Amino acid sequence: MGIFDFLSGEFIDVIAWTDDSRDTMVSRFEREGHEIKYGAKLTVREGQAAVFVHEGQLADVFSPGLYMLETNNLPIMTTLQHWDHGFKSPFKSEIYYVNTTRFNDLKWGTKNSIICRDPEFGPVRLRAFGTYSVKVTDPARFLTEIVGTDGDFTMNEISFQIRNIIVQAFSRTIAKSGIPVMDMAANTRELGKLVGKDIEAQLAEYGLSLPELYIENISLPPAVEAVMDKRSSMGVIGNLNEYMQFQAAEALGRDGAGAAAIQAGMGAGLGMQIGQSAAGAGPWGARPANAAPAAMAPPPPPVEHVWHIAEGGNTTGPFSKARLGRMATDGDLTRETYVWTQGQDGWMKAEDVRELAQLFTILPPPPPGA
């Protein structure tokens, strides 16, 4: 036996994989001719799995640990080769290392708007985006269903497919959730859980799981947002006539001639009032008996509020105050029921809302003999 034969028999064959790319999901252990020495040391670190493929067939899968490759550690491959006794090196097999750690901060979003029906605004178009994390839970299935013979498979090669699955599930969840657009920002966590649960079975077919899914934002088209901003501004302004008078007074006061203009306007207004009084008065300034009193403009109608009701984690509405009165009579609305309307700071109990508290004070007493 030559010196080289002796060295080749004494050297320990070490099989291991380290990666610092942060996006590699599968890497094939490269060895010329795929020859593995009998008794080689196989190192599988935490967050990894090693998959043996022998003559095109998926054989053994190794979880984290240190192994010596012998017949007792390779049961499936031994069966495939019909090794009844010990075998000698080298034997040919491909080894794929699979990264089983989480791949975090992956982006998803809707390319096009999603049309859904809102109980208050009717049909609306929504867009959403967020982040998610993915993890390989079944290395053998992932290798056979997705990777194939790719010796360097990265997260970018499957992220587009996962994004499509998430967007499709998000569209279904939003369409059947019935959550008003105004309340979606308060329910993004619940929506994310529903979407993750909806696609759990589909990702399991690929050997993957989705540990986390976050919805960062749900937005309306710019034109609709502009209209909503105007509507909110009107709610803040309150009385529009008073606000316009205030704006006009501010505009006059910005320049130096503001005070003079205000005085001139007051003088002109006083002169018009005197003229009108003289035109309608009698010989000595008295108003004729048959003269009709000056017509006064009616005040603006009061703003009718509509209310939403929260029960058991779900919201219903909007309801008018008259409808809430009937619900209070029927017992469907109680003092402890949480309600919300435009301009109100969060959900409040019905008995704590001044406008609704009277619904419970005017209820008739219980009938005699009850």
Can you read off the two tokens belonging to residue 85?
């006794």
For residues 73 and 62, give the distance between their C-alpha atoms in angstroms, rounded to a whole number. Answer: 9
Task: Place 352 in a pLDDT band, splitting at 50, 70 and 90.
Answer: confident
70 band by pLDDT with thresholds 50, 70 and 90: confident
pLDDT exceeds cutoff 70 at 199: yes
**Mean pLDDT of all residues belonging to the chain:** 78
- What is the rounded average pLDDT of the residues 138-151? 90
Token readout for 121 is: 């605004």
Using the predicted structure, report yes or no on whether residue 327 has a pLDDT greater than 50. Answer: yes
Average pLDDT over residues 308-313: 84
pLDDT at 279: 54
- Average pLDDT on 211-235 reads 79
pLDDT band per the 50, 70, 90 thresholds, residue 320: confident
| pLDDT at position 100 over 90 | yes
From CA 308, how far away is CA 339, in angstroms rounded?
6
Q: How confident is the model at residue 135 (pLDDT cuts 50, 70, 90)?
A: very high
User: Token digits for 18?
Assistant: 């380290």
pLDDT, greater one: 34 or 41:
41
Over residues 65-81, the mean pLDDT reads 72
Which pLDDT score is estimated for 7? 37
Average pLDDT over residues 81-85: 54
Is pLDDT of 313 > 70?
A: yes
**Of 278, 287, 281, 355, which Cα lies nearest the Cα of 324?**
355
**b/e for 28-37, b at 16 or more Cβ within 10 A?**
bbebeebebb
Residue 78 to residue 57: CA distance in whole angstroms = 12
The stretch 84-93 carries a mean pLDDT of 61
pLDDT of the residue at 329: 81
Residue 63 — pLDDT band, cuts 50, 70, 90? very high
Q: What pLDDT band is residue 362 in, cutting at 50, 70 and 90?
A: low
Instruction: Decide: helix, strand or coil at residue 360.
Output: helix
Calculate the CA 238 to chain-centre distance. Answer: 33
pLDDT of residue 8: 43
Q: What is the pLDDT of residue 184?
A: 84
Instruction: Specify the pLDDT at position 295.
Output: 66
pLDDT at 105: 92
Residue labelled with tokens 């990702």: 203
* Of 165 and 291, the one with more pLDDT: 165
Mean pLDDT calculated for residue range 100-116? 91
Q: Token pair for residue 125?
A: 């178009």
- For strands 14-15 and 41-44, give the pairing: parallel
Instruction: Give the separation between CA 78 and CA 42, rounded to whole angstroms.
Output: 17
